[in-house]
Structure 1
C-alpha cells in the first residue's frame, strides 16, 4: 500500500491545505457515536490503489450521501441516515470530524470480514458487493481510526471539484486536529483485525 503526502502550508492563502477523506456521512456519525471503529477502502475508480497519509497529522472526514446508503446500512443503524443527510445539501457540506490513523490491515481473507461486523454499520451484502467484489484485483484495506469531533463544525459551499470518484480532497481550511495517542481500546481493535484477516 502506498502513502499519500500531507499538503504543505500554502503560500497564497492563510488557511492550511488539509487532507480530507471522502466517507459516508452516516459512517461519520457512527464514528462520533462510538458505533464504528474501522473504515474499508480500495480507492476510487480513477486511482491505481488506495493511499494513506505518509505521516499521521490526522485528516478530516468529508461527508457523502447517496440514496443507496440506506439499503447498505444495517437496520439497527438506520437512524444515522437522516443525521448524515442533513450534513450534505445541494448548497453546502458540514464537516464534523477528523480521524487519526491507528493502523491499516490489508485483507488477506475476505471471508472473515463478517467477524468484524460489530466494528462498523454496513451490511455483509454491501461489503461483499461494494468492497470485496468491486475492483477484485485491488487490495482491500481496513483502516482502524480514532475519531475527533471538530470543536466547531466546518460548513463549506459545494464545489464541482469535490465530486468525482476519488478518495481524497485537498481543503483550504484552518480546521485543525490535536495530536492524539491511540487509545488502548483501539490498539486492541487493530490487533483483532490483524489476527482475523491475515
Structure 2
C-alpha cells in the first residue's frame, strides 16, 4: 500500500516568501512562471507540495519594507550546498488576475512591493498573474537535502531526488484563522470583478 504522506513534489519560491508563509504572515503567492516553464506559462502541477527555498532572485527593493531588510542578496548562480525543507503546503485556491486594480486591492495579503507586482502583471501581459492561497504545514523535522543541478533554473516545479514525509506536520494557522483570511481574499477579488 502506498504511503500518501510521502512526496517529492516541490514548488520553488523565494526563501523570504517561504519564511513568511511558515510564520503565518501570508498565505498568498503570486506567480507568472519562470522562463523554463512548460509551454512558457505557469501551471499548477500539484496541489500538495513541499516548499523549496531559493535565494538567487530575491532582492530587497522587490519586497515591502518589513521584509526587505531580511534579505541578503546573492550573486547570480549562487545556491547553498544543502537545502532545508521545513514545510509543505496544500494549494487551496487559485485565481487568475489580469486587472491591476485587483492586484492593488490584494496588497495587504502579500509581501512584495507595489512596483514589483505591477512589473509582474505587465510582463507577458497577455498571461494572467496567478494568485495561489496556501495552507502551510510545518514538518515535524526539517529535512536537509543536497543541492542538485537539476533543481536550478527558472522553473516553478521540481521533483526532489529525496522523498519527504508529511506525516505529523502541524498547520501554521488554525482552520478558523486560515478560512477567515481566505474569505477576505475571495471577497476582495470578487468585489473587483
TM-score normalised per structure 1: 0.77
Note closer, same or farther for the CA distance 1:66–1:53 as it changes in structure 2 (3 Å cut). Answer: closer
Q: 44-53 or 142-151: which moved more?
A: 44-53
Aligned residue in 2 for 1:36: 26
- The answer on 1:143 being equivalent to 2:132 is yes
Give the 5 Å matches for 1:15-94: 18-47=8-37, 48=39, 49-53=41-45, 56=47, 58-66=48-56, 68-81=58-71, 89-94=79-84
- The answer on 1:120 being equivalent to 2:101 is no
CA distance in 1, matches of 2:186, 2:144: 36
Aligned residue in 2 for 1:183: 175
CA distance in 1, matches of 2:88, 2:70: 18
- What is the number of residues matched between the two proteins? 178
In the alignment, is the contact (CA less than 8 A) between 2:98 and 2:121 conserved in 1? no
Note closer, same or farther for the CA distance 1:190–1:17 as it changes in structure 2 (3 Å cut). Answer: closer
1:196 aligned to 177, 180, 188, which one?
A: 188
Secondary structure class of the residue paired with 2:166: coil
**Structure 2, gaps ≥5 residues long:** none
> Cα RMSD between the aligned structures?
2.6
Q: 44-53 or 146-155: which moved more?
A: 44-53
TM-score normalised per structure 2: 0.79
**Structure 1, gaps ≥5 residues long:** 1-8, 10-15
